[in-house]
Amino acid sequence: MTHDAAVLKAREIASRVLAPSAGQNDKAGRFSTEALESLGESGLLGLMLPGEAGGSGLGPRTFAAVTAMLAEADASVAMVYLMHILGTATISAARPSAAPTVTPILREIAAGRHLSTLAFSEAGSRSHFWTPMSRAHRNGDGVRVSAKKSWVTSAGHAQSYIVSSLAPEGVGPTDSTLYLVLASTRGLSVSGPWDGLGLRANASAPIALEECEVPSNFQLSDDGAGFQTMLNVVLPLFNLGTAAVALGLCRAAVTGTSSHLKSARFEHLGQSLGESLPTLRAQLAAMQIDTDGLAARIDDLVEHLEKPRETTMLRVPETKAAAGDVAISVTSAAMRICGGAAFSKHLSIERLFRDAHAGAVMAPTGDVLREFIGKVLLGMPLF
Ligand SMILES: Cc1cc2nc3c(=O)[nH]c(=O)nc-3n(C[C@H](O)[C@H](O)[C@H](O)COP(=O)(O)OP(=O)(O)OC[C@H]3O[C@@H](n4cnc5c(N)ncnc54)[C@H](O)[C@@H]3O)c2cc1C
């Protein structure tokens, strides 16, 4: 599959499957199994997997374009997709001794039959996912893990979870190990409901692991090396992907607002809202400027990930921090411009506004990213 073919497939799925049911799924808090089925059949679940694993071997550029395209129709599905791509990248980067476990799972992912996700955040350390409170304990040549994972996108729908836990002999707070835990593992359960303000259709419920037995060949990172995988494999793609979700939301807000300004009319003046009020046109223009600015930022991050250089360590946090703010600002402007029609839920704008608030609180949160950037600029240690 080429870049263009992948984006075309995403566009087709977005308009045929996602767009018609996004509103209903949001209302009901319903996870779209149809969307996952279509993404699986299209080959998009194996987008970044290497050819030898049956994937398309495509890079961050295509991942960002596909994710933005999905988010424009339904950000809940886009977030499920993003978490899956991160889970897949982590499995793909597994240490060589995990190959007997990992190889068949990667083939299932490429065939569109396996959805993965990340289970990092814990109730105790909250958004500081890099310091798990749980600790794995030796159990023969494997481990036993008990943990309270506070939000896990696709909880109860994924076939596997990438679980972080302090290494059995870890000394420091970031000495974690990453494990592949299958959904069928005894002791793993969805431990609460998901009834969020936004991204209501992505099943980001808590999960509990109680004495889950994880064999040694399901250990993805070396003991205590989970943190390095989080930083090097997960973080750049997560920040790029959440920025792409933000971009999709902004584009949908611009489209939805334009369409309202063209169709809603002041009958007494014989004009549409857009024809009548220059102030609304100016606010719409500002939304477009911010949206295109975010697109340029994302392109810039893609280039930095394709050709890493000294500034990459700034671009990675900057892009997610900026994207979270832009998505909130653009969708807030859309709410204001579309007035009572948006407020009383006659338009899909209010769903975009609610969904846009998730990016900034998903870890690393916008505040934490700004803290990282400040420390980098001042030459201070990050942790
Ligand atoms: C829709 C959704 C889906 C999610 N999916 C997943 C998932 O699939 N996997 C997963 O592991 N997690 C997931 N999460 C969890 C997410 O990544 C965060 O861990 C979670 O949102 C943090 O919420 P909290 O209340 O614990 O934040 P808190 O840690 O309580 O933060 C509260 C406030 O303090 C600020 N703050 C915290 N630390 C600092 C600091 N050092 N400097 C400055 N400000 C700071 C934060 O920015 C925030 O504004 C998801 C969350 C949401 C909302």
**Ligand 1 pocket check for 162: Cβ under 6 Å:** no
**Å from CA of 323 to ligand 1 middle:** 16
Q: Which two tokens stand for residue 226?
A: 């989970």
What tens digit of pLDDT does each residue of 126-164 get? 999 999 999 999 999 999 999 999 999 999 999 999 999
To the nearest whole number, what is the mean pLDDT of the chain?
Answer: 97
The stretch 196-202 carries a mean pLDDT of: 98
pLDDT at 229: 98
**Nearest-atom index, ligand 1, CA of 361:** 21
Share of the chain above pLDDT 70, in %: 100
Is the C-beta atom of 126 inside 6 A of ligand 1? yes
Contact 43, 112 (CB under 8 A): yes
Interval 216-232: pLDDT, tens: 999 999 999 999 999 99
Mutation to probe ligand 1, out of 127, 194, 351, 373 (largest number of atoms < 8 A from CB):
127
pLDDT bracket for residue 346 (50, 70, 90): confident
Q: Return the percentage of the chain with pLDDT > 90, whole number.
A: 99
Angle CA 321–324–325, to nearest 5: 90
pLDDT tens digits for range 12-62: 999 999 999 999 999 999 999 999 999 999 999 999 999 999 999 999 999
The pLDDT of 340-359, averaged and rounded, is 95
Q: What is the pLDDT of residue 273?
A: 98
Predicted local confidence at residue 58, as pLDDT: 98
Measured from the CB, is residue 372 less than 6 Å from ligand 1?
Answer: no
Q: Does 152 sit in the ligand 1 pocket, CB within 6 Å?
A: yes
**Ligand 1 centroid to 170 CA: how many Å?**
24
The predicted model gives 279-285 an average pLDDT of 98
**Average pLDDT estimate for 53-73:** 97
Nearest ligand 1 atom, CA 121:
11
Q: How confident is the model at residue 359 (pLDDT cuts 50, 70, 90)?
A: very high
The rounded Å distance from CA 126 to ligand 1 centre is: 6
Token pair in block for residue 358:
């998730």
Give the closest residue (by CA) to ligand 1 atom 31: 127
Answer yes or no: is pLDDT of 106 > 90: yes
Q: 371 CB under 6 A from ligand 1?
A: yes
CA of 192 to the centre of ligand 1 (A): 17
- Virtual torsion, Cα 164, 168, 172, 175, nearest 10 deg: -40
Atom 40 of ligand 1, nearest CA residue:
368
Task: Report the C-alpha gap between 192 and 79 in whole angstroms.
Answer: 19
d(CA 133, CA 122): 7
Is the Cβ atom of 155 under 6 angstroms away from ligand 1?
A: no
What is the structure's pLDDT at 133?
97
pLDDT at 272 over 90: yes
| Tokens found for residue 200 | 């209501």
Note whether 123 and 150 are within 8 A (CB).
Answer: yes
Tell whether ligand 1 has an atom less than 6 A from the beta carbon of residue 78: no
CA of 314 to the centre of ligand 1 (A): 21
The structure tokens listed for 162 are 């990438």
Residue 382 reports pLDDT greater than 90: no
Ligand 1 pocket residue status of 367, Cβ below 6 Å: yes
Sign of CA dihedral 103, 109, 113, 115: positive
Please name the residue whose Cα sits nearest to atom 26 of ligand 1. Answer: 126
Structure tokens at 317: 């946090």
**Residue 366 neighbours by CB under 8 Å, 6+ apart:** 320, 321, 324, 325, 359, 360
- Two tokens, residue 74: 């339904």
Ligand 1 atom 25, closest CA:
126
Atom of ligand 1 nearest to the CA of 363: 17
The span from the CA of 128 to the CA of 123, in Å, is: 10
The residue-averaged pLDDT of 179-187 equals 98
Mutate to test the pocket of ligand 1, among 190, 355, 361 (most ligand atoms within 8 A of CB): 361
Instruction: Kindly state the tokens that stand for 288.
Output: 């477009």
Give me the pLDDT at residue 260, please.
Answer: 98
Mean pLDDT of 285-294: 98
Q: Is 238 in the pocket of ligand 1 (CB under 6 A)?
A: no
> Looking at residues 233-254, what average pLDDT do you find?
98
Give pTM, 2 decimals.
0.97
Site to substitute for ligand 1 among 79, 83, 195, 362, most atoms within 8 A of C-beta? 362
